[in-house]
Structure 1
Amino acid sequence: MTGTPPEAGPAPGRRSPRTNPWWTLVAVAFGLFMVGLDGSVVAIANPYIGQDLDASLPQLQWVTNSYLLALAAALILGGKLGDRFGRRTFFLVGLVLFTLSSVAIALVGSTAGVIAFRAVQGLSGALMMPNTLGLLRAVFPPRKFGAAVGIWAAVSSVSTAAGPIVGGLLVEHVGWESVFLINAPVGAIGLVVGLLVLPRSKDGTGHHRFDVPGLVLLALGMIAVVYPVVQSGSWGWGSPRTIGLLVLGLALLAVFAVVESRTAHPLLPMRLFRNPSLSVATAVTVVNFFVLLGSIFFLMLYLQNVRGYGPVEAGVLTLPLSLASMVASPLGAALTDRFGPRFSLTLGMLLQAGASFGLLGLGVDSGYAAMWPCFVALGLGVGMVMAASSEAIVGNAPVRDGGVAGGLQATALQVGGALGTAVLVSVLGSRVGSTLHDALLGAGVPAPLADGLSGARDAVAQGVTPVVPGVAPEVQAAVHQGAAQAFVSGAHTAVLVTGGLCLLGAALSAAVVRRGRGTGGGAPAAH
């Protein structure tokens, strides 16, 4: 069976925004903007949330990761609900819940409350994100779908990359709560526009049983993988708890794959992964946001806490990343149309690898010249991969799986972001813990004081210099130098990880990814 077009709209003779697919793109852009912005804007607000609410580094990680993990765990579910019951309905429901949970985050007044409502925010985003692509796939003809996806990727990339700039302005002039309150007017406008212009669209393949076992296994598996990664800084990578939960999570995901392959109406049709290009593009999409959000997280700590820039200055300094992403998304879509997704994915991954290895030049007192070329390369790479992966994933899926394929791509993005912040901050924290004592001694801190400061690794891993009361100014300066050097050493280890992953992604893209051969047109693959 094949997917059905959107439900009947106005007669051809009557002009209505619902008959114009570009209005659908405008409407879904509001949701895209909010979800993308909130995935990265919190990076610049984190130091202020930590100070205001007295949050530890693991708690700050969960302010980011509770959102990303909830989003990732429910994205495929959101796409499935939209496919079955109506993409317009679930997009708008998600928009309303996202707006309300954003306001709740600003008002709750506790770290635990912020983490909890960030998770609600993530679940709400999961109702929106996959249905944006599902709606576009349903209303755009094949010849224009690539252009629409290019704009979709541009909005998503730019909103993510613009987070630090918007957040910097709001945090400095209003307060950290305002980075969430800004969603109230955006959500209200988006709701009005969506009600006016979004067409009704769903899959017409009949009434299917809902895959509850698949949903439970996927959610539990992802939580079991990400949670020990976040906690590894305090538990240790070799801890039985860390290893045990990781093994459990991987086992649950393996069981999920087996269950899905044997279920008549799966949450995630495993047949999609029979296409090697789709599979590799999904993996590269994970790496894409792993590098982007993970790098933004520790770069904002570096710029503000190590280098001493204000939030607005830190946001402005990352402006090249945003501008490059704006250019790269339509450029990536054009290159993909001409040369296929293999070219754009490979080039995007190589650009991000170059950006990562370039950040090895960062030091305690680095000037801006050591940063901006890396920001440009990172933005270009992210935008190109976004556009090309949309073509390789959504463009190779049957129309009836449009929401699920959109959910798959969006899940890959958010899983990458969650793992990026968790893994890279954990790697950074572990490196800080192993080098802090020697770095303090190397900076001239007396040995007894260095011994006492070894327990300050959580603060140093955030780029914060421990304040030692009663010591001479030159000793406090040495403490700052040593703590900053330990943080930079951790950052260098983190970018080695990202650079290696990007090289692997480039190699896989060049070897495996091919242009789709019309599978996106609507002929479903066999179960």
Structure 2
Amino acid sequence: MTTHPATEHTGHPRRWAILGVLVFSLLVVVLDNTILNVALRTIADPRRGLGATQSELEWSINSYTLVFAGLLFTFGVVGDRLGRKRVLVAGMAVFGLSSLASAYAQNPEQLIAARALMGLGGAAIMPQTLSIITNVFDPRERGRAIGVWSGAVGLAVAIGPVTGGLLLDHFWWGSVFLINVPIVAVGLAGMLWLVPESRNPAPGRIDPLGVLLSIVGLVALSYGIIEGGERGRWLEPVVLGPIAAGLAVIALFAWHEARTDHPAFDVRLFRDPRLSVAVGSIAFCFFATSGVFFFGSFYLQSVRGLSPLQAGLMMLPFAAAQLIFSPGSAAMVRRYGARAVCTTGMLLVTAAMLGYQLCDGNSPLWIFGVVAFVQGSGMANVMPPATESVMSALPREKAGAGSAINNTARQVAVAMGVAVLGSLVASVYRGEMRGPLDRLPAGVPEDVRHAAGESIEGTLGLANGLGPAGDALVAPAREAFVHGMHVAVLGSAIVAFLGALLVMRWMPGRNAPQPEPSGPEPGAARVGQRL
């Protein structure tokens, strides 16, 4: 193995072109979720979509995120063992095929299953992108590269809702998944041409028991939370049982991972405070934010009457903030330290969550845009420094593990945020609509009243079917939804503020001692010579 002097640049000669391909690959994963947020209302429509209920919509998101999160760490190890490029290409192929299946799903159950398969492909893609970036970039440029990688999330947020709105204005709902196929094709071509192969010379073993426990625990916990929101009653055995079982399995998973020599999710890495606090800030940030994207689409379309395209355009301020501030976050960290930058970002997210309290059925829409910009600014100052803290806390040969930890935290937080905050909105909505639905004419069947009370789309659908007699339901439905949204964003603000306190107290500051840098991965300097 060649020894490099400290001043020699160890990056791949085509590293920036490789970064472009990896960012393009990342776009397809993030783009899928941002497009889906705009399409939720259409998928819930029984005439234009699949007639999905509130819980089925939550599962269409969580079937993806839970499989994604449960397999991320495993695919990080698989990439380290089999080759990161090879796993990345396979993941893109699976993602493209499952996108086709999602586009042509005939009912909500088929969509949920196809989305789970998409999660499998996404889990293979995401950790490889960050691992390859860590491998091909010199440590002196890695922060900047990760800033570009993080900024791609903002770009996807910009492209996704607008693209989804354009598609839904002209085509059927499945087009929001079909758009992934040409992106996958272009990404695969770029990978095969540019991306070098790399491996960990001493990869870990796969832990199938850990993978099984993690997925079972998260699915059971999510099921109980979503079921509680759907029923509006949290003290029933069908709700408490899955929640308790999920927590018990997750505890067993953590116990198993701390004792096995080949963990699926190495909880021992959290002994490094720089890594554990950074991962915590990512999780708190995405938990607080996930609910906004879930119910924001219904607020803009069902409450404010915007078209899918107009609703997509309303998310541009969030995306613009990501694109403006993410690339410069590395310089901010060098000047002020990761603690100050991350704390400020979390406080901005907290302020944005409180700002959504100003959005109601009659408020000017520019308020929503301003609040979304503040939210995007906050996330742009949390994600890059937190991600860099995670990756720099580990040696280069552990890049797959670090990438998986980073993205597992993100996806679990999204799944729990959608489950908890979505269920909170559903509970508040159902409670407030009980009276107006009870006052309907006696001829309306009880099961129809119950279905209408599950979501604002169900209520508005019933109102349209009743004609003039249903007009009395529209205003109460919109008010009930806005109230539920306000309760949820207040909970999000509390979570984000707790995250800010966590970062302020335990994240290392600018003058914190740095760990000894590890050398390049064996063979890494020779990677560029293969092309």
TM over 0.5: yes
Partner Cα distance (1:512, 1:523) in 2: 27
Which residue does the alignment assign to 2:507?
A: 513
Which residue does the alignment assign to 2:488?
A: 494
Which of 24, 40, 45 is 2:18 aligned to? 24
Deviation, structure 1 residue 66? 0.9
Deviation, structure 1 residue 519? 3.5
Deviation, structure 1 residue 333? 2.7
SS at match of 2:326: helix
Partner Cα distance (2:155, 2:286) in 1: 13
Which residue does the alignment assign to 1:220?
A: 216
Deviation, structure 1 residue 110? 2.3
Which of 495, 505, 518 is 1:522 aligned to? 518
Per the alignment, do residues 459 and 214 of structure 1 end up closer, same or farther by CA in structure 2, a change over 3 Å counting? closer
Per the alignment, do residues 352 and 76 of structure 1 end up closer, same or farther by CA in structure 2, a change over 3 Å counting? same
Partner Cα distance (1:451, 1:282) in 2: 49
Q: Which moved more, 1:262-271 or 1:34-43?
A: 262-271
Q: How many pairs were matched up?
A: 505
Query: Quick check: 2:453–2:459 contact (8 Å CA) kept in 1?
Result: no
Which residue does the alignment assign to 1:9?
A: none
Per the alignment, do residues 323 and 85 of structure 1 end up closer, same or farther by CA in structure 2, a change over 3 Å counting? same
Which residue does the alignment assign to 1:132?
A: 129
1:16-55 matches, cutoff 5 A: 19-51=13-45, 52-55=49-52
Q: Which runs of 5+ in 1 are unaligned?
A: 6-16
1:339 and 2:336 matched = yes
1:429 and 2:416 matched = no
Deviation, structure 1 residue 332? 2.4
Deviation, structure 1 residue 469? 5.5
Partner Cα distance (1:508, 1:433) in 2: 34
Partner Cα distance (2:514, 2:207) in 1: 28
Q: Which moved more, 1:155-164 or 1:90-99?
A: 155-164
Q: Aligned residues: percent identity?
A: 34
Per the alignment, do residues 465 and 174 of structure 1 end up closer, same or farther by CA in structure 2, a change over 3 Å counting? closer
Per the alignment, do residues 469 and 205 of structure 1 end up closer, same or farther by CA in structure 2, a change over 3 Å counting? closer
Q: Deviations over 1:385-429 (max 9, x none)?
A: 111211121121222211111011111111111112111110000
Per the alignment, do residues 468 and 145 of structure 1 end up closer, same or farther by CA in structure 2, a change over 3 Å counting? closer
Which residue does the alignment assign to 1:232?
A: 228
Which residue does the alignment assign to 1:479?
A: 473
Deviation, structure 1 residue 157? 3.1
Q: Deviations over 1:134-185 (max 9, x none)?
A: 1111111110000000000000233145422221111112222111111111
Partner Cα distance (2:66, 2:190) in 1: 29
Deviation, structure 1 residue 108? 3.0
Q: 1:500 is aligned with what amino acid? A: I
Q: 2:482 is aligned with what amino acid? A: V
Query: Quick check: 1:225–1:245 contact (8 Å CA) kept in 2?
Result: yes
SS at match of 2:353: helix
Q: 2:326 is aligned with what amino acid? A: S
Per the alignment, do residues 522 and 219 of structure 1 end up closer, same or farther by CA in structure 2, a change over 3 Å counting? farther
Partner Cα distance (1:462, 1:85) in 2: 48
Deviation, structure 1 residue 440? 7.5
Q: 1:430 is aligned with what amino acid? A: S
Query: Quick check: 1:460–1:466 contact (8 Å CA) kept in 2?
Result: no
1:417 and 2:414 matched = yes
Which residue does the alignment assign to 1:280?
A: 277
Q: 1:491 is aligned with what amino acid? A: M
Partner Cα distance (1:470, 1:400) in 2: 63
Q: 1:478 is aligned with what amino acid? A: A
Q: 1:177 is aligned with what amino acid? A: G
Q: 1:171 is aligned with what amino acid? A: L
Per the alignment, do residues 371 and 412 of structure 1 end up closer, same or farther by CA in structure 2, a change over 3 Å counting? same
Deviation, structure 1 residue 311? 0.5
Which residue does the alignment assign to 1:210?
A: 206
Partner Cα distance (1:331, 1:422) in 2: 33
SS at match of 1:330: coil
Q: Which moved more, 1:18-27 or 1:181-190?
A: 18-27
Which residue does the alignment assign to 2:102?
A: 105
Q: Deviations over 1:100-158 (max 9, x none)?
A: 11112112322211111110001100001011111111111110000000000000233
Which of 174, 182, 200 is 2:197 aligned to? 200
1:329 and 2:326 matched = yes
Partner Cα distance (1:461, 1:426) in 2: 15
**Structure 1 length-normalised TM:** 0.90
**Structure 2 length-normalised TM:** 0.89
Q: Which moved more, 1:221-230 or 1:312-321?
A: 221-230
1:394 and 2:404 matched = no
Deviation, structure 1 residue 369? 3.0
Partner Cα distance (1:162, 1:181) in 2: 15
Query: Quick check: 1:294–1:425 contact (8 Å CA) kept in 2?
Result: yes
CA RMSD of aligned residues (A): 2.6
Which of 145, 160, 169 is 2:142 aligned to? 145
Q: 2:44 is aligned with what amino acid? A: G
Per the alignment, do residues 459 and 209 of structure 1 end up closer, same or farther by CA in structure 2, a change over 3 Å counting? closer
Q: 2:28 is aligned with what amino acid? A: M
Which residue does the alignment assign to 2:405?
A: 408
SS at match of 2:463: coil
Which residue does the alignment assign to 1:87?
A: 84
